[in-house]
Amino acid sequence: MQPGISKKRRAYILLMRILMWLSVALTAGLVLFLVTYVMAKGLPEISWNLLTTKPSYLSGNIGILPDILNTVYIIIAALIFVIPLGAGAAVYLNEYARNKKLVAVIEYAAETLSGIPSIIYGLVGMLFFCSFLDMQTSLLAGALTLVIMNLPTVLRTTQESLKTVPQSYREGAFGLGAGKWRVIRTVVLPGCVDGIITGCILSVGRILGESAALLFTAGFAHAVHGFFEGLNSAGATLTVALYVYAKEQGEFGVAFAIAAILMVLTLLIQLAAMLVGRYFKKRRDL
């Protein structure tokens, strides 16, 4: 430190530095603790039997195969809907919309959607999909609720990457006599694949961790079904199963096993998002 700095200033600087270091240490320590604690408690509980059987009250067996399948189904179903909707909305905003007020309204709506808590999505999903559209409590109703929830995510990531498609590409295509739709199909959409993929990865992460929105829309059942049959019947995803096992049944071993699985998947998704981002950035810089 330079000479000629008063004691008061020195004290202030030292204090602020210590506080910053403490905060960073606390944050990093917290993550380290959470990950190791959940892994240490959960990994030993994972067994082949747990992963490949379904629960039965008769034999007292606990298995999470149905919950794994339900999670996969709900992710696939939600992505099938959310990709065209979110990407389409982004294309409209970036390529078609000329009315600035309308754009502002749509963007405000997307921001509002991303701020709404999941319990409210669950409630409206229950009222609209389960009761009004008569889907009952089913994975499909849950998936559609999640579609609304993840719409802003896919919209935003696609929009970001649309903005990086050079304007000259579009002009070149128009100049060659292509129509608007042809330009979008052959020039614009291929240019924003990275945004759509990033949006998908983020959505998968969010769906994987979602529970409050699914409690009343997708239900708690633990039956093994095929894909289409599964969509029409109620079923718990991994997170909902974790909640039920921990809170209602006191089966903390299973709960930690699921938590460990979720933690591993979360880390993998995090990694995937990072790698995809890096890959596309490299490709773009070339």
Contacts of other proteins in 43-82 (CB under 8 A): none
Residue 110 in the binding site for other proteins (CB under 8 A): yes
Residue for token pair 């910053």:
20
Q: Strand pairing partners for 56?
A: 61
Phi, then psi, of 199 in degrees rounded to 5: -60, -40
Nearest-10 crossing angle of helices 193-209, 65-91: 140
Among residues 20, 40, 51, 76, the one that binds other proteins under rule CB under 8 A: 20
Closer Cβ to other proteins, 21 or 227, answer by number: 21
Give the torsion sign (CA, 217, 219, 222, 223): negative
Cα–Cα distance measured from residue 54 to residue 30, given in angstroms and rounded to the nearest whole number = 34
Among residues 11, 16, 193, 275, the one that binds other proteins under rule CB under 8 A: 16
Residue 275 in the binding site for other proteins (CB under 8 A): no
Among residues 223, 269, 272, 276, the one that binds other proteins under rule CB under 8 A: 269
Among residues 35, 65, 189, 272, the one that binds other proteins under rule CB under 8 A: 35
Contacts of 209 (CB under 8 A, 6+ apart): 239, 262, 266
Among residues 11, 13, 51, 76, the one that binds other proteins under rule CB under 8 A: 13
Q: What is the dihedral of CA 207, 212, 218, 224, to 10 degrees?
A: 70
CB 135, CB 233: distance < 8 Å: no
Cα–Cα distance measured from residue 135 to residue 84, given in angstroms and rounded to the nearest whole number = 22
Among residues 11, 49, 56, 88, the one that binds other proteins under rule CB under 8 A: 88
Stretch near other proteins under the rule CB under 8 A, chosen from 58-66, 88-96, 161-169, 186-194: 88-96
Cα–Cα distance measured from residue 286 to residue 36, given in angstroms and rounded to the nearest whole number = 39
Closer Cβ to other proteins, 36 or 52, answer by number: 36
User: 209 to 268, contacts with other proteins by CB under 8 A?
Assistant: 209-212, 215-216, 239, 242-243, 246-247, 252, 255-256, 259, 262-263, 266-267
Stretch near other proteins under the rule CB under 8 A, chosen from 19-27, 45-53, 190-198, 225-233: 19-27
User: 126 to 185, contacts with other proteins by CB under 8 A?
Assistant: 126-128, 148, 151-152, 155, 174, 179-181
Nearest-10 crossing angle of helices 139-163, 100-115: 130
Instruction: In angstroms, give the least distance from the CB of 55 to other proteins.
Output: 18
Residue 40 in the binding site for other proteins (CB under 8 A): no
